[in-house]
Amino acid sequence: MTVVRSLSKKSGGGALATPTDLEPAQVAKVAAALNQVLADAFVLYLKTKNFHWHVSGKHFRDYHLLLDEQAGTIFATFDDLAERVRKLGAPTIHSFAEVLKLTTLKENNDGFITPEAMFEELIADNKAIIKTIRNAHAICDEADDIASAGLLEGYIDEAEKRLWFLFETNQNRTDSAS
């Protein structure tokens, strides 16, 4: 069994010596991939919450509730992802600065954005995070890290569900029943 020592004494509390059968190089690759997913999840969460707080218009209540529900599913991924990295004996994200350095997503600082534009942006971001998760899954598969891969499979399904709901909500259709 390989013992991974990923944290230096500089980090504050002595080295982490979590036992794992993964090689140190595999741990480093998997941890980097999972931290990438975590960074994207943080940015997607904050953007989804931002849009939840600032949505307006004709379908306010439905959009407000949808975005809050989606933010909750994203938030629920944080702890499991970070703890998985720590179980491998590697460090996880320490700050928002690190999140912004690692993320592939862009923040939205606009003072006003229409619901349609919000959904378009969230559709693109959910597509991007699905790609990030799939890439991380491939790295986990290569390292034979079944536990991390299994965790990511559930997150892909959740992201695809968010994408589906956003896409269907943003369709400009007229009711055929009218």
Mean pLDDT score of the chain: 88
Q: How far is CA 29 from the centre of its chain?
A: 17
**What are 108's two structure tokens?**
């939205």
Query: 21 or 80: whose pLDDT is higher?
Result: 80
Q: Is residue 84 part of a domain?
A: yes
- Terminal C-alpha separation, the chain: 67
Residue 134 has pLDDT above 50, yes or no: yes
Q: Is residue 6 part of a domain?
A: no
Q: Is residue 9 part of a domain?
A: no
Residue 6 has pLDDT above 70, yes or no: no
Query: What is the pLDDT at residue 12?
Result: 40
Query: 11 or 54: whose pLDDT is higher?
Result: 54
**Domain coverage including residue 129:** 20-103+111-169
The C-alpha atoms of residue 20 and residue 147 are separated, in whole angstroms, by 12
For position 84, which CATH number holds? Answer: 1.20.1260.10
19 band by pLDDT with thresholds 50, 70 and 90: confident
172 band by pLDDT with thresholds 50, 70 and 90: low
**What are 101's two structure tokens?**
């350095």
171 band by pLDDT with thresholds 50, 70 and 90: confident
What is the torsional sign of CA 150, 152, 157, 158? positive
The C-alpha atoms of residue 8 and residue 108 are separated, in whole angstroms, by 35
Nearest CA-CA partner of 38 in 108, 119, 118, 101 = 101
Q: Is residue 87 part of a domain?
A: yes
Q: Is residue 14 part of a domain?
A: no
Q: Is residue 55 part of a domain?
A: yes
Residue 93 has pLDDT above 90, yes or no: yes
Residue 9 has pLDDT above 90, yes or no: no
The C-alpha atoms of residue 155 and residue 131 are separated, in whole angstroms, by 11
Query: What is the pLDDT at residue 175?
Result: 39
In the block, which residue shows the tokens 């059968």?
Answer: 21
CB atoms within 10 A of CB 49: 17
Mean of pLDDT values over 79-102: 95
Q: Is residue 119 part of a domain?
A: yes
Mean of pLDDT values over 99-120: 94
Q: Give the chain's domain count.
A: 1
pLDDT digits (tens, 9 = 90+) for 143-163: 999 999 999 999 999 999 999
Residue 46 has pLDDT above 90, yes or no: yes
The C-alpha atoms of residue 74 and residue 5 are separated, in whole angstroms, by 30
Q: Is residue 116 part of a domain?
A: yes
